[in-house]
Structure 1
Amino acid sequence: MKIQFDSGLAYQAQAVEAILGVFEGQETTQTTFTVTSKPVFNGRGQGDLLQTAATSEYGIGNRLMLLEDELLDNVRRVQLQNGLKQTSKLDKKALNFTVEMETGTGKTYVYLRSIFELHLRYGFTKFIIVVPSIAIKEGVYKSLQITNTHFKDLYQNIRYDYFIYDSQKREQVRSFATSDYVQIMVINIDAFRKSFSDPEKETKANLIHRADDRLNGQRPIEFIRDTCPIVIIDEPQSVDRTDKAKEAIASLNPLCTLRYSATHADKHQMLYKLDAIDAFEQKLVKQIEVKSLNVQDGHNKAYLKLLSVDNRKSPITATIELDTLQKGGGVKRISKKVKAGADLLEVSGGRDLYDGYIINDIVCTPGSEYIDFTSKPDILKLGQAIGDVDEDERKRLQIRQTIEKHLNKELLLNPMGIKVLSLFFIDRVAHYRSYDAEGHVVPGKYAQWFETEYRAMVAKPKYRSLFGEIDPTAEVSKVHDGYFSADKRKKGDPDSLIRFKDSSGTTAEDESTYNLIMKDKEKLLSFDSKLRFIFSHSALREGWDNPNVFQICTLNETASTLKKRQEIGRGLRLAVNQQGERIQGFTVNTLTVMANESYEAFAAKLQQEIEDDEGIRFGFVEKHLFANIVIAEDGKEPTYLGADKSETLWENLLASGYINDKGKVQDSLKTALKAGSVNLPDTFATHADAITATLRKVAGNNLNIKNADTGQTVALNKQVYLSPEFTALWDRIKHQTTYRVNFTPENLIDTCASKLGEMIVGKTRFESIEAKLHIDRSEIAGTDVKTQTYVYDLRDYTLPDIVTYLQDATNLTRRSVIDILQRSGRLKDFKSNPQKFIEQATAIIQQAMRLALVDGIKYHKIGDGHFYAQELFESAELRGYLNDNMQAVAKCVYEHVVYDSDVEASFALGMEQSEDVKLYAKLPGWFKINTPLGTYNPDWAVLVEQDGKERLYFVVETKGMLLPDALRPVEDGKIKCGRAHFAAMENDVQFTKANGFGEFVGQW
């Protein structure tokens, strides 16, 4: 199977044209230079020089004919076309240009294609590709191999050679210099980074900088310098990050330097930008789907995690994560800053699991940060967690989920000729492959778990069709393998065993890893290869990917050390079928990442990395954002809005309050976009559609804000407020009350025990949440969220004192608590999940107690001096949003009714239309009635006048459902208390419930 390449992709052609545009006006020309001739020997030994050849060799180099101002004009024109900030000054002595392309969109293909186009159009012949690592060197060389046929078909008249620079074959540079056709050299920065001008230190320099007898005493670098090569840097953020590396690049004497990456550190004259957001919006890479595992109801141990330490100020502090007791008995995991001496029993809100965890010391030594405790042996290292669920259980479940997701993808994609691959990143090679006492390879725990889970999964009938007559369990060892760096065999012992080891990804031993992965890329894509699950050390961060990686699972001791972009970058490229053709669309191209964190946290970190790496500011308007809007296409070249007008437009958006002084989009712009009423200056009216379309990308589609410029303060309706009728209504309902309750303890115990007998206590469980990431200019967020639950049945914890706990939480006597627990018959469930049992039992008993109080409640008016003054309507502010949650009215004490539901909106409309309703008030939030269940705020106070004579005074609670069984117990209890409160007024005010205005009328 051979990967096919499409020469007609518009975005790649645009990236190539960006480079070509820099040299617009350059004549097709080359330069020649003399290369010192080879010595001729007399045959008596190489040391005996007979003569020197009479003729000289000539080298062929690149030559730049353009003036500095011509280059600058070209660069600015290219940047304007591509919507980039324009360069103000150009240094012809060090021409540096940047192309930014998201991982997986074909940047290697683009710069290789640019080489041929630069030769075709301008005659340039010498090109050097500088890479930062072995992995990328092998990847580039593999790309040159698999595109060889493609480029020869595309450029039939262009002859070219490519090679990897080898310090043991330094004569290669002579051929590079003297060839009159295209030469492409791939070289690692480490091969020429060490250069010393001091002759005494020359032996420490790379061989490329040392005089060489095979080159007649010349240094190989001199041959390269004279060609004035065009230098292409792959992943420059890793290549020239030091001054020494920058000097090394300069030592090549480049005609210009072109930098290609998705994550530039230094953006020298950006010419083309296809960032992460562009790639996702145009579906040029896979959609990302995150599958995370969260522990639910697992608070039965003293959980602690050290997040950070800080010694910048005194005292030294540490930020820890722990479980804290909340009001009502629940437990919440939070982060807290603490210092030495902090008692975590107090910090946790009194959870006795933390008794004895008093911080003794906070150590901030880089690489050895930790905290320890005065009475506990635990030492908590940075990033480490204790008291959490067993990590092996979590990782095994991750492996199981990856296999399941993989097989489901095979059911979908195998019939389409697409082979599915899954990649596991592991932190220690020994966890996948280890050795017995004799040194023979034995599977590590990851390999054992994988095979067990794989056998169980493929035994399911739904996957039978994937294997035909083959027994899938018999070939389990062939479907997975590990790619790791290998130690060299013992010197002089070719039969000695090769051992695999953890490595950084940049050592010579890593060659074995990359040879397998790089050179087998196409083999891996073929159904002829049984291998589908790849285990690799997490050091494999860049330089390798495979288009058919659909699942990535990171198995780490703690959180992943990989950056999110490095992690997903291994599988972002669009998939290929067995004909090597790229398949389009998210239906096929979805990359699932098995994350060690929530999808919200993953999305937030990915967004932050994109902002840091690419300089993208989600939800910000840049001053040059509108520069490349086309305003005319009369001639060959389109006319653009330009940088000056774009900045003028930005200033107008700022003045209109659509953005702040940093360019951040404000709600007012989102509202205006939603309403189609963005206010632009008349001079931009012709281009308003293009401008608003650009703004929509930045503002995003999440426009769920109120449909008004700002919230609106609701004014009093003085005609109603000052009327004697409203005063008469208010005087009847304004008084405050106190209450007493009467209940039987025995009945309470029976009720609590009965409710406990009905509760369901779930075990600790993993909740798997899967969400697709939606990426646009406004944010990265999860959509299409799905959940799945796995029980985690482990009981390696100490049972807490439940009686004391419930006694403190409920204020019941110890005897009553014991009676409730014994009568409930549920104590055996307490052992399954102690903390969950305690939380639910606390909530049930507390609610049963409150409801029992309601049944025997009796209210008494405190006295004439305790009431809600009518003047509070004037001092309290009421706000709402017109047409969203408020409507204009005439009979209310306010000029608008602010409603909480459609039922309330309809009820207000009914009162406005009824001739019998004289006036009414939507009771404000400050009007509260005390109850055992918390404060209660009724909905309406209404004055009804029938036949112009009889007046009826009502307080109305509007609910969509009226039956007590349909209401929540607490809600129904509060309504009962409200009825008892108004009954205590001993006047003619009536309390009622209604599900609409018609129901209310029927109660007159």
Structure 2
Amino acid sequence: MELILDRGLSHQQKPIDLISDVFKGVQIDSPTRYFENPTISLFDNNIKKNINEIQKKLPPLYRGFTPVDKSLNLDIKMETGTGKTYVYTHMMYELHKKYGINKFIIAVPSLAIKAGTANFLKDEYSKRHFRDVNGYGTEIEVGVLESPKNKKKGRSYFPSVVSEFVRGSSQNSNKIHVLLVNMQLLVVRKNGLLSRDDYDYGTEGFYRPFDALKATKPFVIIDEPHRFSRDQKAYKVIENEINPQSIIRYGATFPNKAGSNKNKSTHTKDYQNLLYDLNACDSFNLNLIKGVTKEHFDPVSKSAEKIKIMSIKNKESINIQFLKKNHKTKTSTLKKGDSLSIIHEAFEGITIDGIGKSYVVFSNGIEKQVGEELDVDIYMTSYQEQMMRLALDRHFETERINFSERNFKIKTLALFFIDDITSYRESDEEKKPYILETFEKLLIERIEKELSKLTEYEQEYKSYLEASLDDISACHAGYFSRDNNDSDEAIGQQVQTILYGKKQLLSFKNEDGTPNTLRFLFSKWTLKEGWDNPNVFTITKLRSSGSENSKLQEVGRGLRLPVDENGNRISNEEFFLNYIVDFTESEFAKKLIAQINGEISQGSIITEEHLAEVAKSLGVSTDDLFDELYDKNYIDRKMNISLEKREEFFINYPEFSKGLATGKVRDSNKKRVKPVKIRKGAYDEIKDLWERVNQRYLLYFEKEVDQEMDEIVLSILEEPGVFTDMVMTSSREVIESDGHSMTTGNKTGVQYIISNSIPYNEFLKRIMKSTNIPIVKIHQGMCEYVKRHGDLAEKYINENTASIFIQKFNEWRNSNLQGRFHYTKSNTPVKSTALSYSDGTPREAISQGRIGNKIAPGSPSSKYLYDTFAFDSPLEYKNMASDIEEVIVYGKIPNNSIAIPTITGGMYSPDFMYVVKKPTGEKEINIIVETKDVEDKNSLRKVESAKMESARVLFDLLSEEGYKVHFHDQLKNKQMAQIIREVLK
């Protein structure tokens, strides 16, 4: 499979544009040496002016210009899972295109992040996306700085990736040079890789790598800035040794200001010219990431056994007391490296990693101060076994839906965090890996149970589960930090797959065509920031990390929206991450919600300005609106929002909506979200319409389009700038004497137009794959171009030309093909659907996320297809809550269930379906509705309008075939009753 990147997502395009806007009108001088970036005039007043203008859209707390000291600092805040790596990669292309910047250093805090970033930058699907889809015609050349594994005696070699990065020409318009480095290498040591100056040779006259990097005048991108606080060594090295022109930080979490209290609100964060704030609240509410469902078991034994840190002696040993039923028993003295199993067998595998003046650090990451306690219950094997059983239940609930109940399949993954490697890895010791053995036993039981529940319509899923049973060990893999130095081939393959094989993990098939059943991953807190997989749906912390770090960072490994088996990101329905913890973290959901709402201003109070703004939109006075809200007990006299009525308030007054939407973070111990039931009687009434609109249709363009294709291809080829040169610039240095010693002096170089062509057949194939224009048509257009304009130099048959042609054709297609196509019914029979099995019988229920991410109290009208108010927008809720006399039955169309092909190349699925009776009484009128919660059609994106027009053509065809279907769009200012009466007329 190949991952497919979305282009132009607004939450990703906006920060790219904002960074670019910082440099509008700023003086930028051309490079004086071939290997350096253009020089930004950092004290140009336009920089401050541009930043102040950009920050007007931020809350007042986040505004403020940070003057340039050594570098221009810029911050972009984006929540985990929203595509930070994509955004800063796209930003590099944009800054290169607009300002000629082509030397970037990306600094990351860990090896896992470095591996993921390198994969993204190097992968062909990423390169093709920016080159062809976005039309930059430029490629990134990335060098990954690694610590030398085997230091050889004798000659010392200057780091080759640094040399290649430095020598890359900033005047080459087709290359962006990137150096990727982890923070451990950014440390000045006596023999540090970048800080030493005794190499046998250098590059461009530099023998110290830091000096060479500094000379390129780079831009530095910092990923995960909370790991790079400004008082930390790695940051100081970036600032002083590399001294970039600009430091651009991208992160979900930023470090605190020096001396600030970590428990205070986010205004204590150390922002440096914050430009964009895509916080967790917006990310959850806009469905840019998964929601979270937390679940835990209460203690198993109720034994109330604990251990307590009593005292520490000279940072060498600790005294730990064992408590049972809160009664003191024995006290043990342990040193670094000792196992806690000396105190109680439940702590097997936990050792003391470090001892401080007043604290101790255990091998599972827990840090405890003197006087603090640890519960024994959560370390008992029986407790962990129940957690694994629960995790498998949640996994297979999700996997079955993702495999069998959608129009596309989603590979479903689960991640387990453990703290004892020997409990999973087999070793030469007699000790059995109890987590591994227990997990495989439970997995076999759970798969056999799942097989017994399958219907006759789920044969493909049955085969997948049977393949899992045939080789249970192939279903799981682990990655631990010590694996990096393990020579075992099987372990090496697991590490390769987990760290670097994202696409392999997402695929249902191995390269040889056999089922790929690997979907359960184990790690020891190693997969932290930087590692993620979009299809992780369950995370289980088998033993608490004891961490008080960001709760968002903890769930971050599974927040990204999933992709289907073809690599398409699924963003038009709601998904949830199952997060399973032990009882010591029973308040996890509460703390997560508090953290999310704590990141926004005015999350629990209405300001005077907001009240006045909403009153004006509703056409009432500010005082009248206040009285109305106060009388309904939605607010108090100080305009604090009532916690008890918060959900009801936002449903009835969506204009005030602030903070995390209800149901985005769930605590399953309090209320388990149930599937929404499908009412059989209502389904029987709407079955005919449902089956008709689920019939498959193929889209064909009119013959005239094919006949015009020669002319269209030729017209695009004849547009200025389609055929481009490639240029190489020389740097000329002269060795001369200044009367005392020999020196080098720069002289004017030359620029040559070079031939960097690709084979003609590859050129044609590249255009054909992205446009679906037959190769023969492209070839004929090229021949006609040559006939009219003379021979075409071979150098123009290059990647740039192909990319520009593809971009221009896509623009032409979206503007010119509306109304020039038709649909033909496919012979493919309708199998199972989101609401029914292949024999036409209705399903019992449907997952809530497929019909709405919000739940309102109450029971819908008996005419409604489902037994629950599940909706995505206030307009949808109004439709569901309206019992219209003429309506026989109505229902929300499950997301992504009706696949209408459109001219944009994608599929389209409307929102609502209605069956209405005529004035004479018989049911005959079918209405399909697309709801858009906007004021007017001018607010709709061009792509959305194109999809709706395509649907209109299809439903007109159904009507011509004898099955009348009315298709309408519904905007914010129109009620459903009005649409129905218009149709009846």
Counterparts of 1:183 and 1:210, CA distance in 2:
29
Residue pair 1:308, 1:318 contacting (<8 A) in 2 also: yes
3-state SS, counterpart of residue 213 of structure 1: coil
Which whole-Å deviations, capped at 9, do the CAs of 1:211-257 have from their partners, x for residues lacking one?
65132453233332222211111112213454432321122221111
Considering only aligned residues, what root-mean-square deviation do their CA atoms show, in Å?
Answer: 4.8
Match of 1:520 in 2: 501
For 2:88, give the aligned amino acid: Y
For 2:571, give the aligned amino acid: Q
Counterparts of 2:25 and 2:615, CA distance in 1:
24
1:97 partnered with 2:74: yes
What is the aligned counterpart of 1:428 among 417, 420, 432?
Answer: 420
Match of 1:785 in 2: 672
Q: Residue 561 of structure 1: CA displacement?
A: 7.8
Match of 2:541 in 1: 554
Q: Residue 93 of structure 1: CA displacement?
A: 4.0
What is the aligned counterpart of 1:697 among 647, 658, 682?
Answer: 658
Residue pair 1:139, 1:544 contacting (<8 A) in 2 also: yes
Match of 1:540 in 2: 527
Counterparts of 1:226 and 1:573, CA distance in 2:
38
Which whole-Å deviations, capped at 9, do the CAs of 1:422-466 have from their partners, x for residues lacking one?
11111111011131359xxx9611111111111111112015842
Match of 1:252 in 2: 242
Counterparts of 1:675 and 1:567, CA distance in 2:
27
Residue pair 1:488, 1:498 contacting (<8 A) in 2 also: no
**Match runs of 1:487-502 below 5 Å:** none
Q: Residue 290 of structure 1: CA displacement?
A: 1.1
Counterparts of 2:610 and 2:30, CA distance in 1:
39
- Mean CA deviation greater in 127-136 or 577-586: 577-586
Counterparts of 1:618 and 1:456, CA distance in 2:
46
Change (3 A) 1:666 1:628: closer
3-state SS, counterpart of residue 571 of structure 2: coil
1:480 partnered with 2:476: yes
Counterparts of 2:636 and 2:217, CA distance in 1:
47
Which whole-Å deviations, capped at 9, do the CAs of 1:853-912 have from their partners, x for residues lacking one?
xxxxxxxxxxxxxxxxxxxxxxxxxxxxxxxxxxxxxxxxxxxxxxxxxxxxxxxxxxxx
Counterparts of 1:701 and 1:234, CA distance in 2:
28
Match of 2:580 in 1: 594
Report the TM-score when normalising by structure 1: 0.51
Counterparts of 2:97 and 2:589, CA distance in 1:
44
3-state SS, counterpart of residue 214 of structure 1: coil
Report the TM-score when normalising by structure 2: 0.51
Which whole-Å deviations, capped at 9, do the CAs of 1:814-860 have from their partners, x for residues lacking one?
xxxxxxxxxxxxxxxxxxxxxxxxxxxxxxxxxxxxxxxxxxxxxxx
Counterparts of 2:581 and 2:481, CA distance in 1:
25
3-state SS, counterpart of residue 222 of structure 1: helix
Equivalent pairs counted in the alignment come to 578
For 2:399, give the aligned amino acid: E
1:448 partnered with 2:444: no
Which whole-Å deviations, capped at 9, do the CAs of 1:539-574 have from their partners, x for residues lacking one?
321211100001111111785687532331111000
Change (3 A) 1:389 1:151: closer
Which whole-Å deviations, capped at 9, do the CAs of 1:779-838 have from their partners, x for residues lacking one?
x998743699xxxxxxxxxxxxxxxxxxxxxxxxxxxxxxxxxxxxxxxxxxxxxxxxxx
- Mean CA deviation greater in 616-625 or 155-164: 616-625
Match of 2:111 in 1: 134
1:267 partnered with 2:253: no
Match of 1:413 in 2: 402
Change (3 A) 1:165 1:557: closer
Counterparts of 2:608 and 2:112, CA distance in 1:
39
Q: Residue 68 of structure 1: CA displacement?
A: 3.5
Q: Residue 126 of structure 1: CA displacement?
A: 1.5
Match of 2:39 in 1: 63
Residue pair 1:383, 1:558 contacting (<8 A) in 2 also: no
Counterparts of 1:157 and 1:558, CA distance in 2:
46
Larger Rg: 1
Residue pair 1:173, 1:220 contacting (<8 A) in 2 also: no
Residue pair 2:37, 2:100 contacting (<8 A) in 1 also: no
Change (3 A) 1:6 1:497: closer
What is the aligned counterpart of 2:141 among 143, 152, 161?
Answer: 161
Match of 2:553 in 1: 566
Change (3 A) 1:65 1:418: same
3-state SS, counterpart of residue 74 of structure 1: helix
Change (3 A) 1:88 1:459: closer
Match of 1:889 in 2: none
Match of 2:212 in 1: 223
Match of 1:183 in 2: 176
For 2:398, give the aligned amino acid: K
Residue pair 1:290, 1:773 contacting (<8 A) in 2 also: no
Q: Residue 70 of structure 1: CA displacement?
A: 1.3
**Match runs of 1:748-897 below 5 Å:** 773-774=664-665, 784-785=671-672
3-state SS, counterpart of residue 127 of structure 1: strand
3-state SS, counterpart of residue 294 of structure 1: coil
Counterparts of 1:209 and 1:66, CA distance in 2:
30
Counterparts of 2:518 and 2:37, CA distance in 1:
46
Residue pair 1:152, 1:158 contacting (<8 A) in 2 also: yes
For 1:280, give the aligned amino acid: F
Counterparts of 1:173 and 1:562, CA distance in 2:
36
Match of 1:956 in 2: none
Match of 2:374 in 1: 384
For 2:443, give the aligned amino acid: Y
For 2:227, give the aligned amino acid: S
1:145 partnered with 2:151: no
3-state SS, counterpart of residue 558 of structure 2: coil
**Match runs of 1:861-940 below 5 Å:** none
Residue pair 1:293, 1:597 contacting (<8 A) in 2 also: yes
Q: Residue 9 of structure 1: CA displacement?
A: 0.5
**Match runs of 1:46-61 below 5 Å:** 58-61=34-37
Counterparts of 2:614 and 2:276, CA distance in 1:
16
Match of 2:641 in 1: 670
For 2:46, give the aligned amino acid: E
* Aligned sequence identity (%): 27
1:206 partnered with 2:198: no
Which whole-Å deviations, capped at 9, do the CAs of 1:10-41 have from their partners, x for residues lacking one?
111111112112112236753122xxxxxxxx
3-state SS, counterpart of residue 24 of structure 2: coil
Counterparts of 2:382 and 2:129, CA distance in 1:
48
Change (3 A) 1:126 1:701: closer
Residue pair 2:474, 2:518 contacting (<8 A) in 1 also: yes
Change (3 A) 1:83 1:12: farther
Match of 1:468 in 2: 463
What is the aligned counterpart of 1:237 among 222, 226, 244?
Answer: 226
1:279 partnered with 2:266: no
Counterparts of 1:488 and 1:259, CA distance in 2:
28
Counterparts of 1:90 and 1:622, CA distance in 2:
31
Counterparts of 1:223 and 1:630, CA distance in 2:
61
Residue pair 1:310, 1:318 contacting (<8 A) in 2 also: no
Counterparts of 1:320 and 1:696, CA distance in 2:
50
Counterparts of 1:339 and 1:624, CA distance in 2:
62
For 1:697, give the aligned amino acid: K
What is the aligned counterpart of 2:88 among 100, 107, 111?
Answer: 111
Which whole-Å deviations, capped at 9, do the CAs of 1:525-550 have from their partners, x for residues lacking one?
00012201111122321211100001
For 1:71, give the aligned amino acid: I
What is the aligned counterpart of 1:290 among 290, 294, 312?
Answer: 294
Runs of 5+ in structure 2 lacking a partner? 148-158, 256-269, 314-318, 332-354, 363-369, 510-515, 676-985
1:23 partnered with 2:19: no
Q: Residue 585 of structure 1: CA displacement?
A: 4.5
For 1:271, give the aligned amino acid: L
- Mean CA deviation greater in 278-287 or 529-538: 529-538
3-state SS, counterpart of residue 72 of structure 1: helix
3-state SS, counterpart of residue 785 of structure 1: coil
Change (3 A) 1:626 1:114: farther
For 1:180, give the aligned amino acid: N
Residue pair 1:302, 1:323 contacting (<8 A) in 2 also: yes
Change (3 A) 1:308 1:112: farther
Residue pair 2:296, 2:586 contacting (<8 A) in 1 also: no
Residue pair 1:423, 1:552 contacting (<8 A) in 2 also: yes
3-state SS, counterpart of residue 402 of structure 1: helix
3-state SS, counterpart of residue 227 of structure 2: helix
